[in-house]
């Protein structure tokens, strides 16, 4: 692949992904710079290059040169922008992958309502097609191709974790159960780092009287294709889950406590596959809230520790599940307190959108976590933080260590299971 052709491939993808929505964003941006004031990477470093709209510049240039309504006229009179070069694309690559978690906080402050996060996702399509992807993400993609998991989690490893959890909670967990109400998928990090979530599901669904299962061929929710920006890879990963769920004839697929996985299957999924699924996608938080409201998983004795909630961007800000986790926490915790700035505009952990899988971004990620640490420090005598996203949890564990904060990090499903009413 020649240098020129790499730039051409990327630009062709930029243009292909510049639909009328992206075009409206490019045309409406007035360069007001407000987005910088919302970006955790700019706020934590003070470096203007982390201004969100600046990260889009190569894609905007390509649009203005080749696709904008007056581009032909401007080319004719020599006023069109110059071609995007490979050098520029390489210069921007860390901005596109290391310094954007696609958290969409910038959209909230933008007077034009520009969805920069969604446009970065489209821009990454160009980078992925041209083979300009950070090494960490590339390795994750290679693991997925071999094992279906970005961490290389095999079915043997999953079955071992299931066996441990069955023993711990005393409830059998059925794999490949035909016709189950729900099929659960998990992120690799949950399976290997927080396997107690399997036991929590078993306990909660037994109490609710719903049948559930885990597929032996499609148990992974993480979609590296979405993080890298490769639609073909994202579709392949999704296809495994869709095929397994439809073969098992389940009614629902449960998206786990993992940020981007929910958007990947719930909102982008049918569009990637070009059809609607034969099952419904439900987020675990959404499902638990529904079961709670239906009285199927009544709350018991509340946890008395002083707790707060981290709002994972892809679940709360971009996923629309703002009230559900709070409603569950109200029932499960007697001393729940919101962090300063919690909710729709809460800070990202700093490691979403593939940043945590990219070792090159480690320093930047830790700097961005400083803002989360400030939010946590705004709560006096805090003991525990509920983090309903496995990726955020790993970032929290590193970040709390870096900022010397002594807090316990727990998942929401585990908390709801632990505070379930006794029979």
Partner 1 sequence: MSFIDFVEGPLYYVAATIFVFGALWRVIGIIRIGRKKDISPPKGSAALGFFKGNLRHFFPRGIFARRTWLHIVGGYGFHLGLFGVLLFAAPHVAFISDRITGFSWPTLPRWGFIITAEIAFLGLIVLWVRRFSDPVMRLISDWDDHIGTWLTFLAMLSGCFALGESSVFLRATHMLLIDIWLIYFPFGRLMHAFTFFLSRGNTGATYGRKGMNL
For residue 370, state whether it binds partner 1 (rule: CB under 8 A): no
Q: Is 385 helix (H, G, I), strand (E, B) or coil?
A: strand
Selection from 224, 221, 241, 260 nearest residue 141 by Cα: 224
By rule CB under 8 A, what count of residues binds partner 1?
56
For residue 381, state whether it binds partner 1 (rule: CB under 8 A): no
Least Å distance between CB 121 and partner 1?
12
Q: Which residues contact 28 (CB under 8 A, 6 or more apart)?
A: 112, 114
Instruction: Candidates 6, 10, 14, 25: give the one binding partner 1 (CB under 8 A).
Output: 25
Least Å distance between CB 282 and partner 1?
11
Instruction: Candidates 58, 134, 319, 411: give the one binding partner 1 (CB under 8 A).
Output: 319
Instruction: Candidates 20, 78, 146, 423: give the one binding partner 1 (CB under 8 A).
Output: 20
Backbone angles phi, psi at 153, to 5 degrees: -75, 120
Return the structure tokens found at 286: 């959404």
Contact yes or no for 126/144 (Cβ under 8 A)? no
Least Å distance between CB 343 and partner 1?
9
Least Å distance between CB 414 and partner 1?
26
Q: Between residue 328 and residue 347, which ones bind partner 1 under the rule CB under 8 A?
A: 341, 344-345
Instruction: Report the C-alpha gap between 48 and 54 in whole angstroms.
Output: 9
Least Å distance between CB 101 and partner 1?
18
For 27, 53, 73, the CA distances from 84, given in Å and listed in that order, are 18, 17, 19
For residue 28, state whether it binds partner 1 (rule: CB under 8 A): yes
For residue 163, state whether it binds partner 1 (rule: CB under 8 A): no
End-to-end CA distance of the chain: 65
Helix axis angle, 20-28 to 57-66, nearest 10°: 100
Stretch that binds partner 1, among 63-71, 194-202, 207-215, 409-417 (CB under 8 A): 63-71
Instruction: Report the C-alpha gap between 283 and 255 in whole angstroms.
Output: 5
Q: Burial of 359 by CB count in 10 Å (0-12 exposed, 13-18 middle, 19+ buried)? A: exposed
Least Å distance between CB 321 and partner 1?
9
What's the helix, strand, coil split of the chain in %, to 5? 55, 10, 35
For 100, 183, 189, the CA distances from 104, given in Å and listed in that order, are 9, 30, 24
Residue 372: count of CB within 10 angstroms of its CB: 26
173 vs 231 by CB, closer to partner 1? 231
Least Å distance between CB 361 and partner 1?
21
186 vs 279 by CB, closer to partner 1? 279
Least Å distance between CB 194 and partner 1?
27
For residue 152, state whether it binds partner 1 (rule: CB under 8 A): no
For residue 378, state whether it binds partner 1 (rule: CB under 8 A): no
Residues making contact with partner 1 (CB under 8 A): 18-21, 23-25, 27-34, 36-38, 42, 48-49, 51, 53-54, 67-70, 74, 107-115, 118, 266-271, 274-276, 280, 318-320, 322, 341, 344-345
């Amino acid at each position: 692949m020649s240098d020129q052709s790499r730039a051409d491939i990327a630009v062709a993808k930029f243009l292909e992904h510049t639909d009328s929505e992206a075009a409206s964003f490019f045309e409406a941006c007035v360069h007001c710079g407000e987005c910088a004031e919302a970006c955790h990477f700019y706020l934590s470093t003070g470096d203007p290059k982390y201004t969100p709209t600046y990260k889009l510049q190569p894609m905007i240039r390509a649009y203005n040169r080749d696709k904008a309504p007056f581009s032909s006229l401007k080319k004719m009179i020599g006023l069109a922008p110059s071609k995007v070069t490979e050098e520029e694309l390489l210069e921007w690559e860390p901005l596109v992958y290391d310094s954007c978690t696609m958290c969409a906080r910038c959209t909230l402050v933008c007077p034009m309502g520009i969805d920069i996060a969604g446009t970065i996702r489209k821009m990454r399509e160009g980078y992925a097609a041209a083979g300009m992807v950070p090494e960490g993400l590339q390795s994750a993609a290679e693991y997925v191709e071999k094992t279906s998991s970005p961490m290389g989690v095999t079915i043997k490893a999953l079955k071992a974790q299931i066996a441990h959890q069955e023993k711990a909670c005393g409830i059998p967990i059925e794999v490949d159960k035909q016709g189950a109400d729900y099929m659960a998928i998990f992120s690799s990090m949950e399976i290997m780092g927080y396997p107690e979530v399997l036991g929590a599901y078993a306990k909660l669904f037994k109490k609710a009287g719903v049948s559930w299962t885990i597929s032996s061929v499609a148990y992974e929710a993480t979609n590296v294709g979405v993080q890298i920006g490769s639609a073909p890879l994202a579709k392949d990963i999704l296809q495994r889950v869709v095929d397994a769920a439809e073969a098992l004839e389940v009614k629902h697929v449960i998206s786990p406590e993992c940020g981007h996985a929910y958007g990947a299957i719930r909102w982008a999924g049918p569009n990637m596959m070009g059809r609607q699924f034969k099952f419904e996608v439900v987020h675990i938080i959404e499902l638990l809230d529904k079961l709670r409201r239906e009285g199927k998983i009544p709350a018991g004795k509340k946890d008395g520790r002083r707790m707060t909630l981290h709002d994972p961007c892809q679940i709360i800000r971009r996923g629309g599940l703002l009230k559900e986790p709070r409603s569950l926490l109200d029932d499960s915790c007697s001393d729940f307190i919101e962090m300063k700035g919690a909710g729709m505009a809460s800070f990202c952990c700093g490691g979403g959108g593939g940043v945590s899988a990219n070792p090159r971004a480690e320093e930047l990620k830790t700097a961005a976590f400083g803002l989360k640490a400030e939010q946590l420090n705004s709560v006096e005598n805090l003991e525990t933080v509920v983090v309903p996203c496995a990726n955020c949890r790993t970032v929290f564990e590193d970040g709390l260590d870096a900022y010397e904060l002594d807090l316990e990090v727990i998942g929401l499903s585990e908390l709801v299971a632990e505070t379930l009413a006794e029979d």
